[in-house]
């Protein structure tokens, strides 16, 4: 199965351009991919942490003019990346799936499959978290609903499929870095995918104990698939190693967008936060280097003859100086450092502001400085749009999963209430008074308590009403039986 977080630089190779046309090999990405790829590099590096950004060297930490190579390498080794972007990405992705993805009208057989929807032990909730992370990092994410056939083909993990009785549909997540080419046509105003190329990197056994990294490209067309593989120990180019047919007349691939710019095209929604994080890394490096060089007190001699090359110091040594000569420690006043600290604080403030705006929208950020109630009807917040797109992506994947089984896959609901607060005891008491007075129904009461985080996240109002109704019916039966026995 393809890696969820593919390493940077896995796709390479020059394009052959002739009179405005591109002649591509199967492994070469299309022009749209190349235009988007530079925007992915910084977010990918930032989530890799300090070691990853140090490995980029002068790309993200420029060497100053007249700075020696040794001095630069020393400064680079002391530079630490503040994890602003990584933390923001994780928090926003977690908010998208903090409540259970609710399924509606999904067949039981599919529910069993979704407990391990990707054949790697991840249930739908965990898989949705992976999709959320990729959408926020790259701008969009794709899901292939694969179903190994009875033929001896290669599945998306590059291995032989499971025995016939154990085969079932499963989902595979692809980041935009893995989606290297696509073709489509418009029929009746609807865009239909006609070809899709997916890059996959596998690890296969080599020799008795070793392993080999293998690159392959999966080419999908309606009702047909092919796999081209480049394995250094066997071939120098991408050669066709397997092909077959599918039972569907469409390519079983769905896409969800966080910031769409076109079909299979997007921009990272947290891109500006990434650039601010890079600026914080660079300023932090400058400050750390300045403190390392200048903030340590230095021993300075006044009136000491130049012939004195070394002066010993310590509790067991004595220093003899000429008349009017003196030694003293000198340190900078440090007034300039405060501006560096202020700049770093301002960068962090801007990052937090952008993060809040991503959740609430710009209007929500401006109104949330004090303890004001948040308008939950504000549906234009960026994260709410991401949640809606994630819901559409899962719905489409459920539909494709169901097509393999000749069943309706049902639908899902992704929670979009990211800032809901727990109801206060006074609010709960007021709701109970309204219900007891007959002003609201029991269903409305339970729905409001669930929305107010009084119950657990997976609380089901309908099931609770049904269970309560059964308890009341049982109680009435016991009362009726008691009356009959009394007579």
Q: What is the DSSP string of 412-450?
A: EE-----S--PPPHHHHHHHHHHHHTTSS-HHHHHHHHH
Q: How confident is the model at residue 318 (pLDDT cuts 50, 70, 90)?
A: low
pLDDT tens-place string over residues 83-138:
889 988 998 898 899 888 999 999 999 999 999 999 999 999 999 999 999 999 99
Q: What is the dihedral of CA 210, 216, 222, 224, to 10 degrees?
A: -60
Contact by Cβ (8 Å): 81, 283? no
Residue of higher predicted confidence among 399 and 78: 399
Q: What percent of the chain lies above the pLDDT cut of 70? A: 67
Contact indicator for 442, 420 with CB cutoff of 8 Å? no
Q: Tell me, what's the pLDDT at 95?
A: 87
Grade residue 364 by pLDDT with cuts at 50, 70 and 90. very low
* Cα separation, 28 vs 6, whole angstroms: 16
- C-alpha–C-alpha distance, residues 309 and 328, integer Å: 16
* Res. 167 pLDDT band, cuts 50 70 90: confident
Q: Considering only CA atoms, which of 159, 101, 150 is closest in space to residue 129?
A: 101
Q: What confidence tier does 18 reach under pLDDT thresholds 50, 70, 90?
A: very low
Helix (H, G, I), strand (E, B) or coil at 293: helix
Whole-number Å distance between alpha carbons of 172 and 127: 9
Contacts of 355 (CB under 8 A, 6+ apart): 88, 91, 92, 273
CA 220 vs CA 146, 228, 395: distances in Å: 11, 11, 21
Count other Cβ atoms within 10 Å, centred on residue 45. 23
CA 256 from centroid of its chain's CA atoms: 13
- The residue ranking higher by pLDDT, 370 or 380, is 380
Q: What's the pLDDT score for residue 195?
A: 96
- What does the pLDDT read at residue 236? 83
What's the gap between Cα 59 and its chain centre?
24
Nearest in space to 201 (alpha carbons), one of 32, 53, 52, 27: 27
Range in 251-265, 336-350, 405-419 with the lowest mean pLDDT: 336-350
pLDDT in the model for residue 159: 45
Q: What is the pLDDT of residue 55?
A: 95
- pLDDT tens for residues 21-55? 668 899 999 999 999 999 999 999 999 999 999 99
pTM confidence score? 0.74
* pLDDT (0 to 100) of residue 342: 65
Lowest mean pLDDT, pick from 110-124, 196-210, 320-334 = 320-334
Q: What are phi and psi of 43, to 5 degrees?
A: -55, -40
State residue 332's pLDDT score.
60
Q: Report, as an integer, the average pLDDT of 296-305.
A: 60
Query: Who's near 200: CB < 8 A, 6+ residues apart?
Result: 1, 2, 156, 158, 178, 215, 216, 217, 218
What pLDDT sits at residue 113? 95
Between 260 and 456, name the one with better pLDDT: 260
pLDDT at 10: 46
**398-408: per-residue pLDDT in tens?**
999 999 999 99
- Residue bearing tokens 């936060």: 273
Residue 276, pLDDT above cutoff 80: yes
Residue 157's pLDDT band, with cuts at 50, 70 and 90, is: very low
pLDDT of residue 226 exceeding 90, the answer is yes
Give the position of tokens 């997540």: 173
The mean pLDDT of 56-63, rounded to a whole number, is 93
Q: How confident is the model at residue 441 (pLDDT cuts 50, 70, 90)?
A: confident
């Amino acid at each position: 199965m393809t890696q969820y977080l593919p390493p940077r630089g896995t796709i390479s190779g020059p394009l052959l351009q002739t009179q405005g046309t591109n002649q591509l090999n199967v492994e070469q990405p299309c022009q749209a991919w190349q235009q988007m790829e530079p925007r992915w590099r910084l977010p990918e590096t930032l989530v890799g942490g300090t070691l990853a950004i140090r490995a980029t060297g002068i790309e993200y930490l420029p060497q100053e003019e007249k700075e020696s190579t040794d001095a630069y390498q020393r400064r680079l080794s002391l530079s630490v990346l503040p994890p602003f972007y990584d933390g923001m990405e994780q928090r926003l992705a977690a908010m998208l799936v903090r409540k259970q993805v609710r399924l509606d009208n999904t067949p039981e057989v599919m529910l069993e499959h979704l407990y391990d929807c990707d054949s790697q032990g991840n249930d739908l909730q965990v898989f949705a978290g992976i999709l959320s992370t990729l959408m926020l990092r790259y701008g969009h994410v794709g899901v292939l609903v694969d179903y190994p056939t009875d033929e001896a083909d290669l599945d998306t993990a590059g291995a032989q499929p499971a025995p016939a009785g154990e085969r079932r549909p499963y989902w595979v997540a692809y980041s935009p870095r893995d989606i290297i080419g696509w073709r489509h046509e418009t029929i009746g105003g609807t865009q239909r995918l006609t070809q899709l190329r997916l890059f996959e990197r596998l690890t296969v056994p080599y020799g008795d104990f070793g392993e080999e990294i293998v690159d392959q490209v999966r080419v999908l067309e309606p009702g047909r698939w092919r796999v081209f593989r480049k394995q250094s120990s066997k071939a120098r180019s991408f050669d066709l190693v397997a092909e077959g047919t599918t039972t569907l007349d469409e390519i079983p691939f769905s896409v969800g967008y966080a910031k769409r710019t076109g079909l299979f095209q997007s921009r990272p929604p947290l891109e500006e936060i990434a650039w601010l994080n890079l600026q914080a890394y660079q300023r932090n490096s400058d400050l750390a280097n300045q403190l390392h060089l200048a903030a340590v007190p230095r021993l300075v001699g006044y009136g000491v003859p130049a012939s004195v090359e070394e002066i010993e110091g310590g509790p067991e040594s004595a220093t003899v100086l000429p008349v009017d000569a003196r030694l003293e420690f000198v340190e900078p006043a440090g007034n300039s450092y405060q501006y560096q600290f202020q700049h770093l604080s301002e960068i962090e403030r801007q990052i937090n502001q952008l993060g809040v705006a991503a959740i609430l929208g710009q209007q929500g950020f401006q109104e949330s400085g004090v303890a004001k109630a948040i308008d939950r009807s504000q549906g234009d917040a960026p994260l709410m749009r991401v949640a809606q797109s994630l819901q559409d992506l899962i719905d489409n994947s459920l539909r494709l999963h169901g097509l393999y089984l000749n069943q309706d896959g049902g639908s899902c609901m992704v929670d979009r209430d990211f800032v809901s607060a727990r109801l206060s005891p006074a609010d709960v008491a007021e709701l109970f008074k309204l219900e007891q007075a007959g002003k609201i129904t029991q269903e409305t009461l339970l729905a409001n308590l669930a929305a107010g985080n009084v119950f657990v996240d997976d609380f089901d109002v309908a099931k609770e009403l049904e269970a309560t109704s059964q308890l009341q019916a049982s109680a009435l039966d016991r009362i009726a039986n008691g009356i009959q026995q009394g007579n």
